[in-house]
Amino acid sequence: MDAGCPRLPDTVLFEIFLYLDHADVLSVGLVCQQWHAVARDEFLWKELFYRYYRVSRDVPRHPGAVSWYDEFQRLYDTIPCVEVQALKEHNDQVLHLSFSHSGCLFASCSKDCTVKIWSNELDISLQHSSNMRPYNWSYTQFSQFNSDDSLLLVSGVFVGPHNSSSGEIAVISMENFTLLSRVRNKPYDVFGCWLNETNLISGNLHRIGRITSCSVLWLNNAFQGIESENVNVVKRLFKIQNLNASTIRTVMVADCSRYDSPDLLLDYEEQLAASSTCPVFDLGSDSEEEEAKPKPPPEPAVQELPDAGGVPAEHGLQQLFDDIMEGRVGPAITETELETKVAELFVRNRTKPPEPNLLPTDSNSKTKYLIFTTGCLTYSPHQIGIKRILPHQMTTAGPVLGEERRSDEFFDSLDHVIDIHGHIIGMGLSPDHRYLYVNSRAWPRDCVISDPMQPPPIAEEIDLHVFDLKTMKEVKRALRAHRAYTPNEECFFIFLDVSRDFVASGAEDRHGYIWDRHYNICLAKLQHDNVVNSVAFSPVEQELLLTASDDTTIKVWRSPRAVRVRQARGPRPRKLLFSWLMNQKS
Q: Tell me: the pLDDT tens digits for 303-331?
A: 333 343 444 545 555 565 556 555 555 55
Helix (H), strand (E), coil (C) string for 203-229: EEEEECCCCCEEEEEEEEECCHHHHCC
pLDDT of residue 330: 56
Residue 571: CB atoms within 10 Å: 9
pLDDT of residue 99: 98
pLDDT of residue 326: 55
Q: How confident is the model at residue 551 (pLDDT cuts 50, 70, 90)?
A: very high
> Residue 4 pLDDT > 70, yes or no?
no
> Residue 203 pLDDT > 80, yes or no?
yes
* Candidate CATH numbers 1.10.150, 1.10.1740, 1.10.12, 1.20.1280; the one for domain 10-78: 1.20.1280
DSSP secondary structure letters along 256-325: GGGTTS-SS----HHHHHSPPSS-EE-TT-HHHHHHHS--PPP-TTSPPPPP-TT--HHHHHHHHHHHHH
Say which amino acid occupies 189: D
> Residue 6 pLDDT > 60, yes or no?
no
pLDDT of residue 300: 27
Query: Which H or E run contains 253?
Result: strand 249-255
> Residue 40 pLDDT > 50, yes or no?
yes
> Residue 39 pLDDT > 70, yes or no?
no
pLDDT of residue 407: 63
Contact indicator for 98, 193 with CB cutoff of 8 Å: no
> Residue 293 pLDDT > 50, yes or no?
no
Coil, helix or strand at residue 12? helix
What value does the mean pLDDT take over residues 121-147?
96
Q: Which of 182-196, 240-254, 350-364, 479-493 has the lowest mean pLDDT?
A: 350-364
pLDDT of residue 275: 34
Q: Is the peptide bond before 6 cis (omega within 30 degrees of 0)?
A: no
> Residue 140 pLDDT > 80, yes or no?
yes
pLDDT of residue 103: 97
Q: How confident is the model at residue 164 (pLDDT cuts 50, 70, 90)?
A: confident
pTM of the model: 0.81
Q: DSSP label at 507?
A: B
Residues 220 and 239: their CA atoms lie apart, in Å, by 15
Q: Using one digit for the tens of pLDDT, what is the confidence trace for 87-122?
A: 999 999 999 999 999 999 999 999 999 999 999 988
Q: Using one digit for the tens of pLDDT, what is the confidence trace for 376-399?
A: 999 999 999 999 998 888 988 877
Task: Provide, rounded to the nearest whole percent, the portion of the chain with pLDDT above 70.
Answer: 74
> Residue 299 pLDDT > 60, yes or no?
no
Residues 170 and 163: their CA atoms lie apart, in Å, by 22
DSSP secondary structure letters along 155-197: EEEES--TT---EEEEEEETTT--EEEEEEESSGGG--EESSS
Residues 547 and 525: their CA atoms lie apart, in Å, by 11
Residues 32 and 186: their CA atoms lie apart, in Å, by 66
Tell me what the pLDDT averaged over the chain comes to.
80
Chain centroid to CA 569: 36
